[in-house]
Chain A
Amino acid sequence: MALHTLAVLVENSPGVLARVASLFSRRGYNIDSLAVGPTEDPKISRMTIVLNLEGHALDQVSAQLFKLINVIGIQEMKPSESYERELLLVKVGSNGAALDEVAKRYGAKVVEKSENSVVVELVAESDVISALLSDLKPFGVKELVQSGAIALEKGVKTLTDRVRDEQGLSNPEEGNIGESSTADYQN
C-alpha cells in the first residue's frame, strides 16, 4: 500500500461530495485525505484525494470515480511532477526563543503569541509538516488542525487542458455534438 494523490474535476453541483464519499465508502477505498475547493471556473470544483492503496488499484478507483456523471476529469498527481501542499495550524503550550528557532527553520509563521500559547502556521509538503510536528512536540502541542493535501501539476499544462486532450478535442469549441432525437433513448 502506498499513498497516491488524485486531482478530480467535478461539476459544482449539490450532492457531488456525497456521491464521491458514497462511492469510496461503498467500494471500501481508503481515503487518507480529501480537499475540495473552487477553481478558475465557477461551474467546476476541484477535489484532491489522497488514497492509500496498491498501485494497480488506482486505475480501478479512477475508473469508478469517472463513472460518476458529475466527475469531469481525473489525473494522478505524481510527486515528481506536481506541487503538493498541506496547511497546518498548531497551538503550542510554551513560548520562547527555542520555539521561534524551530518555526524559523521550517519557514513556519508564528501567527499569534501570548504568554502560554503560540499558534504556528505552516504550508508545506506532508513530510515537512510531520517533521515540524515532531520538533514541536517537546513544546507541548495543545491542539492541531491540518488540511488535506492539494496538488497542482508542474509546468504549463493544466488539468482542464488534459481533460480536453483526452477527449481528442483539439478544438474545445467542438465538443461531442450529436443530434437529439426521441429514438435516442428509446431504441
Chain B
Amino acid sequence: METEGFFVDGPGIFRAELERTRRERQARELSEKVTGAQSLVNSLEHAGVDVMFGIPGGAILPAYDPIFDSKIRHILVRHEQGAGHAATGYAQATGRVGVCIATSGPGATNLVTPLADAQMDSVPIVAITGQVPGPAIGTDAFQEADIRGITMPITKHNYLITDPDQIPAAISEAFHIASTGRPGPVLVDIAKDALQKMTTFTWPKQRVLAGYRLQLDPEASAINDAARLIAESKKPVFYVGGGVIKANASKELFRLAELVGAPVVTTLMARGAFPDSHPLHLGMPGMHGTVAAVTALQKADLLITLGARFDDRVTGKLSTFAVNAKVIHADIDPAEIGKNRFADVALIGDLKRTMVALVPALEREFAKSRPDLASWWKQMGGLRSTYPLGYDHPAEGLSPQYVIERIGAISGPDSIYCAGVGQHQMWASQFIKYEKPRTWLNSGGLGTMGYAVPAAMGAKVGAPDTPVWAIDGDGCFQMTNQELVTCAINKIPIKVAVINNESLGMVRQWQTLFYASRYSNTDLHSKRIPDFVKLADAMGCVGLRCESRDDVDATINKAMEINDAPVVIDFSVHRDAMVWPMVAAGTSNDDIMIARELAPDWGSQEL
C-alpha cells in the first residue's frame, strides 16, 4: 500500500496540480489496465475499508463483480436504509469511516434518510451509488435519480463521476472529507459506464482540495481569553456536545474538567464523553434533561461550550436561554460560532488540541487567582440531590424505565447501546449509566425512527467482542427490523430490547399533554400484532418475552448468554409512562416541569 506522497488542501493548488499530473502520468504508465469497477474496489481497499453494507442492482452491478473477489467484507442488507444506518453505527462505534453501497434510483434514494441522519449528527460515512450510464444521464432513464442533486443539502460533499480515471481521486477525497474537520457523509455517485470502461488504477499520492481548509489549532490569544473568562467566572458550566466524542477528546475533557472543577453537562450526542459516575457530572441538559443540568446552563455566568451547537432541544426558547452567561464556544466548524448564540470567545479548532492548549493557560490564570465555586456547587449539588431522575412503578404492568435501567446495570458500561427515537430513547439516555465514549449511539439531530437495529448491526460489526444492545420502541422497530435477517445470516448477534408500549409513545405523550389526551393515530396495537417473539423466530433470531418485573433480570441474563444469534426481547410495558423532566417545545428552560403540572420548587433554591 502506498503511504507516502503529499496532499494539498488550500491553494497550494498551482504547483500541486503540475506535480500531480507528472506523478500520475508516471505511475499510470507503470500500472496495468483495469475496469473502473476494479479501480473503485482497489480504491476502497487503499482507503482502508474493511467492511461495507449494501445491495446490488443494475447500475452498480459492475462493481459487485470485483467486490466478489475483494478482501473487503460486504454485508448484504435487506434495505438500503439499513446499509446507511449500519455504516453510521459502525462509524460511531469505531471512529472509522463507515461505508454503504447501493444502486441508482431507488437504491440511492433509500440512502437519503441515513445520509441526512449522518449529516445532522456529523458521522463520517461514505456512500457509493451506481448511476445510469453517462449518455443516459438527464434522459429520465430507467432507475435514474439525480442523487447528487438530491443529497447536496444533506451531505458534507458529493460527487458524480462519469470518467473512470477520476474514481481513485474521488474516493481518496471522499474519505478525507468525511473523516476530517467536522465529520460528515460524502456520497460518490458513479455512472455505470464509468465502472465498465477500462482505466488505469493509481492511488493518488496527493489530493488537491483548494477549498477545503481545516483550522486545527485555535488562536493562542483566544485560548488566553478563554482561560481568563474561566478564571473570572463564578458559575461556569461545561456544556459538552458530541464533538468531544468525534474528536476522541474524552481524556482531555476529564483533565480540563477536574482542573476547573466546574459542573459538566453532556448533551444527548455526548452521553459517555464524560463518566456519569463522576461527581462533576450533572447529567444531560435539554428538553428531557435533569433539573440540575438544565438549570446549571440556565443560571450559569459562563458556558464553556465544547463541540456543542446550541440546538433548540437544548436551549429551549433561545431568547431566554442562559441569559446571564458569557459563552466560550469551541468547535472545529467555524460556521457553528454565532449561528444560534453569540460567542464571546471563539475557539476554532480540533477539540483535543483546544483542551490541551487550555490547560497550561488555565494553570497560569489559576496561579494568580482561583474562583471559588463553592456557592455555585451548593446550588447545583442541591438541585442534583433534590431532583434526581426517577420513575414510578405502575400498579399494574411493567415500567419501561425499570427495564432499561436493568439492561444498563446488567450489561454494564462496556456495552454499546443504540436507541431508536421516542420515549425509550430518552429513557435509555437517562437511565443507562455511560462511562465511556462511543458506547451510546443514537439519532440525535434528525431523530430517525428505525435507526436502532441497523445501527446496532453496524456497531456490532465494528466491535464484534462487545455486547451491543438496540433499545428500540415498538414503533421504530417496525420500521427497520428486517435487518435482523441480515444479522442472523451474517452472524451479527445483536440484542434488541423492544420497549413495547403498543404506541407511538412519544407522540402519545405530546397528545396527552397538549392535545387533551386525544390519541389520534398513535395506537399501534403491537401487543396483539405483530407477535414480536414469532417475528424474531421467523427472522432467525431468538425471541423472548417479558411481562413482569420479576422476570426482567432473568430475561436480560438469558439474552446476555446468547452469543450465536441475535436476540429480540419483547418487553411488554405499560403505555402511560411519560418522560420527565420536560421543557415543552418552544418554551423557556425556566419552565422545566418534573412531572405533569409540577415545576421544581424554586422557592427552596437560592438561585
Q: Does A14 count as interface, using CB distance less than 8 angstroms?
A: yes
Main secondary structure of the interface of A (DSSP, over half): mixed
Whether A63 and B337, one on each chain, are in contact in the complex, defined by CB atoms closer than 8 angstroms, is: yes
Shortest Cβ gap from B400 to chain A (Å): 37
CA distance A63 to B175 in the complex (A): 23
Residues of the A chain whose Cβ atoms lie less than 8 Å from the Cβ of B153 = 22-23, 26
CA distance A160 to B157 in the complex (A): 23
Whether B210 and A72, one on each chain, are in contact in the complex, defined by CB atoms closer than 8 angstroms, is: yes
Whether B335 and A66, one on each chain, are in contact in the complex, defined by CB atoms closer than 8 angstroms, is: yes
Residues of the A chain whose Cβ atoms lie less than 8 Å from the Cβ of B334 = 63, 66
Whether B15 and A173, one on each chain, are in contact in the complex, defined by CB atoms closer than 8 angstroms, is: yes
Tell me which residues from 1 to 25 in chain B have a Cβ below 8 Å from any Cβ of chain A: 1-17
Q: Does A64 count as interface, using CB distance less than 8 angstroms?
A: yes
Q: Which range holds the interface residue count of chain A?
A: 35 or more
Whether B157 and A69, one on each chain, are in contact in the complex, defined by CB atoms closer than 8 angstroms, is: yes
Whether B11 and A183, one on each chain, are in contact in the complex, defined by CB atoms closer than 8 angstroms, is: no
Segment with Cβ contacts to B, from A82-90, A109-117, A121-129, A163-171: A163-171
Task: Pick from A56, A177, A185 the residue with the most CB of B within 10 Å.
Answer: A185
Q: Which range holds the interface residue count of chain B?
A: 35 or more
CA distance A63 to B341 in the complex (A): 15
Beyond A15-B152, A72-B210, A175-B15, whether A67 also contacts B335 by CB under 8 A is yes
Residues of the A chain whose Cβ atoms lie less than 8 Å from the Cβ of B178 = 185
Contact of A70 among B17, B48, B211 (CB under 8 A): B211
Q: Name the CB-closest residue of B to A182.
A: B48
CA distance A14 to B17 in the complex (A): 19
Shortest Cβ gap from B53 to chain A (Å): 17
Residues of the B chain whose Cβ atoms lie less than 8 Å from the Cβ of A158 = none
Whether A60 and B12, one on each chain, are in contact in the complex, defined by CB atoms closer than 8 angstroms, is: no
Contact of A69 among B2, B46, B211, B339 (CB under 8 A): B211
Whether A64 and B12, one on each chain, are in contact in the complex, defined by CB atoms closer than 8 angstroms, is: no
Beyond A19-B152, A22-B152, A182-B47, whether A164 also contacts B176 by CB under 8 A is no
B interface residues with partner A (beta carbon < 8 Å): 1-17, 46-48, 95-97, 124, 148-149, 152-153, 156-157, 160, 172, 175-180, 204-207, 209-213, 248, 333-335, 337-339
A interface residues with partner B (beta carbon < 8 Å): 10-11, 14-15, 18-19, 22-23, 26, 43-44, 56, 59-60, 63-64, 66-73, 160, 163-164, 167, 169, 172-187
A-B contact pairs, 15 of them (CB 8 A): A15-B148, A22-B152, A43-B17, A66-B334, A66-B335, A69-B209, A72-B11, A72-B210, A172-B15, A173-B12, A175-B11, A179-B5, A180-B205, A180-B206, A185-B47
